Structure 1
Amino acid sequence: MLTVRALVEDRALRLRPLVAGEPGALDAEVLWVHNTELPDPSPYLRERELVLTNGLWRDAVSAEEFVRAVHGAGAAGVVFGLREQTPVTPPDLVEACRRVGLPLVEIAVDVPFTAVTRAAAAVLAQARTAPLLGRVRLGDALTAAISRGRGADGVLEVVRRSHDLPLVVVDRAGRQLAATDGLRLDDRQSRVVARALARRPPPLEVDLGELGGASLFLVVAVAEVDAALVCLRPVRELDEVQRDALEQAARYLSVDSATRRAVQEIQLRYAHELLDMILSGPARAGEVAARLRAFGVGADGELVVCAVAFTADDPPAGLAEVVSDFFLGEGTATAVAAGSRDVVAVLPWRRTDQDLRACVDRLLALLDRRFPGGRAVVGLGGRAADATALRQPLLRSREACRVLRRRATGPRVAGVHELGAHRLLLDLLPPDTVRGFADAVLAPLREHGPLLAAVRALLRHDGQYAAAARALGVHENTLRQRMAKVEQLTGRDVRRTEDRVDLFLALEAADYG
């Protein structure tokens, strides 16, 4: 920054300060220098300009009048150039500057004003190019960190070397990806950041409780906010250079985040294909084993399948990544696939069922902290001897999860032996047989939407017409008329136990697998 003090400290100019002016005046910013000999230069003088003068105006106005005009225009100070006719700065000029608090500097006879102009230009040029050079150097260091695969940790290390700031990177799922100096946010603080990232637009600052205000610099990947570079300083406490560095770092984190997202998408797609292979049965058993090994999952020993979902909502963003990270933290390589309503994990398990339940309980506790307000449930499908026997555990885990999703209360974990007997029976039948049975019973009703809804409501309310009619919003007689039509079309009378069982199993089979 160009200041009077910066010029005084340039020994080549041989400037001698005579009046320091008001406190801080020597260190205040100077916009430029203005050479004038006008008795009243104020109409042509910009605020914060430094006046260069030889005092040729002294024959027209007094020093007090000249200084009053210069000071009134907001000048940064006066540089008085000595010459042979005035080898000493006039005392009345010194006194006038002292009275109004205007800095006054004396320049030697043999130093031209052009030297001051060149020095001022050099200072301003350096002031303008220094931030640019700083950004270039920072960009080079960040590029090197990313190209060497150091990711978010490498980016933060580069920033820390230039700016001693407490930094942490938190993604939209509330996971802490990197931090400086072992910094760690607790679960509540991470959730505050995650909730902020879900807002549109996200705020620039959040309150982290005992840590105070924190600035957010958004990390955008594939056109959406993926994470935030969090600085544990309020925005107002960051200077322009620090803000610029953090914004630059966030852009480089976006590159790293986009790369991670691309890898994750590939992994999730491969995992989803794995589920298709498993559901295809023995025909693709060899492919299943190979795909599991690609995820680091041993395919020759016992395997278990867990299906994770939320009771009231679709899976929150980032659930698959959180589940994968959890099992990795448990020391278990896992293939995790995201479905439309659940997330499925296939993992080797040679410990006891009690150990598996305990592990799942820890997963639920993590999900409660990471996604507060939701109710996570887990369906367990039992053990598969190896990769060739995963189809039934996969079906059972997802079915158990589907049942749990319907319940607002009660157990949050269900295993295969805790499912209804009808679901176990459906598991034993080939899929084509299950679908064929459902089609045979329900086909006559599918063109009559109200009839299917009537059957579902009556079965859900245990054959109580009044309760079912209230749920449907129709009169009880209307429901009875619809059930008579159901009997006419299907040959099944809901008043008979065996016919009611057929309708119930057909509806369950239609939703199965």
Structure 2
Amino acid sequence: MLPTLRLLLADSNLGLTLLEHADAGKANPITRAARLDRTVEWVHSSDLIDPTPFLSADHVLLTTGTQFGSDPAADTDYRPYVQRLHERGITALGFGTDVVRDGTPDGLIAACRTLGLPLFEVPYRTPFIAVARAAGDLVAEDRYARATWALKAQRAIALAALRPDGLSATLAELSAQLGHWVALFDASGTLDRVFPRATFAAAPTALATVQQEARRLLARGQRSSSTVDAGGETLTLQTLGGHDHLRGVLALGGALALDQASTEVVTSVIALAGLALEQNNALDRAQGLLRSGLLNTLLAGDQTLVDQISRQMWGALPDPPVLVAVVDVPAVRRDAITEYLELRVDDSPGQLFFARQDDTVVLCLDRAANGILLNLCALFELHAGLSEPTGYRQLPRALDQAHQALARARESAPGVTDFSIVARQGVLALLARTDAREVGLATLAPVMAHDRAHGSELLATVRAWLVCNGHFGEAAAQLGVHRHTVRTRIQQAEQLLARDLGSFPARADVWAALLATDAAVVEPVRP
């Protein structure tokens, strides 16, 4: 920390005297103490009536009072002068006595007392340059001490990085050196680790604030940093990783903002953490290739080999029956999604196995771990298809089910579609989502052309009649016409379609054509 006004006043060689007043005891002692403990960045001297353009906050100003004149009996208004200094953020004002006049003007003392600006006297024997030099020496000593601390802190952190769990040891050492809490969020914005460990145990609001800011930085997809204030703490966040390949966010919090020395230490840790995460990512890519190979081996039926390797690497495979999911994975989010799943494997051993397959990720889930899939899709806004419960010997079949469910999932908002939904809708519903539309249009073309040319309702009548399972009376009631009208229209449609709709194959073929062209969902005809 920079030197304070209290330290400057305590230098006996300068002989500075803090002016106490008769009513000083009435002031809040905590406030007076806080004023004396304000930092002093530099000491400047000026006799201008408005020296503020040449001053910065936390400066100490020295003046001989020439700007006020030499007549002690003059009725001088000192308040505007002190007001300007106070608004500029000046730490204190020093008045050099016996240069222009004896002592410090009472009006100046009163103005400083009213506005809360510390005022001290500089004796004639003490040149202003001596005060500035003393302050400079204190600043230099502080900077040397902070630089020495920074070197020692960086050495301790470098040694911590050599431990088996280098990343955790590095962050723990950084927390100890700074006296701040340090948190690491993964590529998805989920809290990965925090030091001290109990940091957010009793402060869920603080965690929510930090996590929200971390996710905002990650969503930008660029290297960036931010500083926010929350709960009386200054929070500093910095993304980790290269451009377009963010690996996470490092967050720090404490009652005091970081100074330059602390920032340099944090910068070195950011470099170390980024390197560690990049190395972890390279390892993840190698593991990803291994996972893909194991998935192919599992699909080939060798569960024993896959289980042996999986146990050594990540833990046992989920116990069958398992759920198989196929998830669309955008290329730009691939690394983040992989890291998220790796963390879930660590958190839930024996409940999840996953591997990349082309542009998707295949998951084998314990039936009780379906929440992992739901959270994944919600967090990254992904589409996923989920199979029926299955054993590993039936894995290829379950994978086909998951792919069919994924195709259906892509038709709606991001989320999970279960294969059971596809199965309930039937084979013809699935057929309607293939490239059969043109065939269906060609099949129905004669009827559709007749309706356009004559304003008839043959196609709608055929649909209603098929829905009513070939019952003329029910179809007539639905359409609001006589059943003989329905019979006549069906006969016309049969002639145009060149099909006998009294046979089941013909009815199924026409119904499939209706599904493929969306004509099966037209509104009922109004009478």
TM range (shorter): 0.5 to 0.7
Question: Please, which of 239, 249, 252 is the counterpart of residue 257 of structure 2?
Answer: 239
CA pair 169-129 structure 1, distance change in 2 beyond 3 A: same
Following superposition, the deviation at residue 217 of structure 1 comes to 1.4
Q: Tell whether the 8 Å contact from 1:146 to 1:154 is kept in structure 2 after alignment.
A: yes
Q: Which residue of 1 aligns with 2:515?
A: none
Q: Deviation digits for residues 105-143 of structure 1, max 9, x if unmatched?
A: 24485x666653432221121344454444434433433
Tell whether 2:241 aligns with 1:221: yes
CA pair 230-29 structure 1, distance change in 2 beyond 3 A: closer
- For residue 435 of structure 2, give the secondary structure of its aligned residue in structure 1: helix
Work out the CA distance in 2 between the residues paired with 1:159 and 1:360.
36
* Correspondence 1:67-216 to 2 at 5 A: 76-78=92-94, 80=96, 91-95=102-106, 97-101=108-112, 103-107=119-123, 109=125, 115-162=130-177, 165=180, 167-179=182-194, 180-182=196-198, 183=200, 193-194=214-215, 197-200=218-221, 204=226, 215=235
Following superposition, the deviation at residue 309 of structure 1 comes to 2.7
Following superposition, the deviation at residue 171 of structure 1 comes to 1.8
Q: Which residue of 2 aligns with 1:349?
A: none
Question: Please, which of 242, 262, 285 is the counterpart of residue 282 of structure 2?
Answer: 262
* Correspondence 1:244-255 to 2 at 5 A: 244=263, 249-255=269-275
Following superposition, the deviation at residue 265 of structure 1 comes to 1.5
Work out the CA distance in 1 between the residues paired with 2:351 and 2:416.
27
Q: Tell whether the 8 Å contact from 2:322 to 2:366 is kept in structure 1 after alignment.
A: no
Equivalences, count: 406
Question: Please, which of 326, 334, 346 is the counterpart of residue 309 of structure 1?
Answer: 326
Tell whether 2:360 aligns with 1:342: yes
- Opposite residue 364 of structure 1, the aligned amino acid is L
Work out the CA distance in 1 between the residues paired with 2:307 and 2:433.
45
Moved more, 23-32 or 130-139: 23-32
Following superposition, the deviation at residue 154 of structure 1 comes to 3.2
Q: Which residue of 1 aligns with 2:372?
A: 363
- Opposite residue 144 of structure 1, the aligned amino acid is L
Following superposition, the deviation at residue 296 of structure 1 comes to 5.3
Moved more, 399-408 or 301-310: 301-310
CA pair 398-61 structure 1, distance change in 2 beyond 3 A: same
Work out the CA distance in 1 between the residues paired with 2:377 and 2:174.
34
CA pair 137-414 structure 1, distance change in 2 beyond 3 A: farther
Q: Which residue of 1 aligns with 2:435?
A: 456
Q: Tell whether the 8 Å contact from 1:315 to 1:341 is kept in structure 2 after alignment.
A: no
Following superposition, the deviation at residue 311 of structure 1 comes to 6.8
Q: Deviation digits for residues 253-294 of structure 1, max 9, x if unmatched?
A: 323322222221221122224445667x69x99986885565
Following superposition, the deviation at residue 414 of structure 1 comes to 4.8
Following superposition, the deviation at residue 403 of structure 1 comes to 0.7
Q: Which residue of 2 aligns with 1:8?
A: 9
Q: Which residue of 1 aligns with 2:406?
A: 405
CA pair 81-130 structure 1, distance change in 2 beyond 3 A: farther
Q: Which residue of 2 aligns with 1:378?
A: 386
Q: Tell whether the 8 Å contact from 2:314 to 2:345 is kept in structure 1 after alignment.
A: no
Q: Deviation digits for residues 25-65 of structure 1, max 9, x if unmatched?
A: 755555544578xxx66699943454376x9x89x944689
Q: Tell whether the 8 Å contact from 2:160 to 2:169 is kept in structure 1 after alignment.
A: yes
Work out the CA distance in 2 between the residues paired with 1:34 and 1:207.
32
- Opposite residue 104 of structure 1, the aligned amino acid is F
Q: Tell whether the 8 Å contact from 1:19 to 1:94 is kept in structure 2 after alignment.
A: no
Q: Deviation digits for residues 159-197 of structure 1, max 9, x if unmatched?
A: 443555555332232432112433366998868854652
- For residue 13 of structure 1, give the secondary structure of its aligned residue in structure 2: coil
Work out the CA distance in 2 between the residues paired with 1:368 and 1:212.
35
- Opposite residue 270 of structure 1, the aligned amino acid is L
What is the TM-score when the length of structure 1 is the normalising length? Answer: 0.57
Q: Deviation digits for residues 344-389 of structure 1, max 9, x if unmatched?
A: 356xxxxxxxxx7623534334435544x5453334694447xxxx
Q: Deviation digits for residues 95-114 of structure 1, max 9, x if unmatched?
A: 354254372324485x6666
- Opposite residue 386 of structure 2, the aligned amino acid is V
- Opposite residue 397 of structure 2, the aligned amino acid is R
Following superposition, the deviation at residue 401 of structure 1 comes to 1.7
Q: Deviation digits for residues 397-431 of structure 1, max 9, x if unmatched?
A: 4322211102238994559xx89999xxxxxxxxx
Q: Tell whether the 8 Å contact from 1:296 to 1:334 is kept in structure 2 after alignment.
A: no
Q: Which residue of 1 aligns with 2:470?
A: none
Work out the CA distance in 2 between the residues paired with 1:44 and 1:303.
81
Give the unaligned 5+ runs of structure 1.
347-355, 386-391, 423-452, 471-493, 499-513
- For residue 406 of structure 1, give the secondary structure of its aligned residue in structure 2: helix
Q: Tell whether the 8 Å contact from 1:167 to 1:232 is kept in structure 2 after alignment.
A: yes
What is the TM-score when the length of structure 2 is the normalising length? Answer: 0.56
Work out the CA distance in 2 between the residues paired with 1:147 and 1:229.
20
**Percent identity over the alignment?**
17
Work out the CA distance in 1 between the residues paired with 2:97 and 2:433.
102
Following superposition, the deviation at residue 2 of structure 1 comes to 4.8
Work out the CA distance in 2 between the residues paired with 1:11 and 1:30.
18
Q: Deviation digits for residues 320-352 of structure 1, max 9, x if unmatched?
A: 444444444443286532223322356xxxxxx
Work out the CA distance in 1 between the residues paired with 2:440 and 2:161.
60
- Opposite residue 173 of structure 2, the aligned amino acid is V
- For residue 259 of structure 2, give the secondary structure of its aligned residue in structure 1: helix
CA pair 296-97 structure 1, distance change in 2 beyond 3 A: closer
- Opposite residue 246 of structure 2, the aligned amino acid is V
For the aligned residue pairs, the C-alpha RMSD in angstroms reads: 5.8
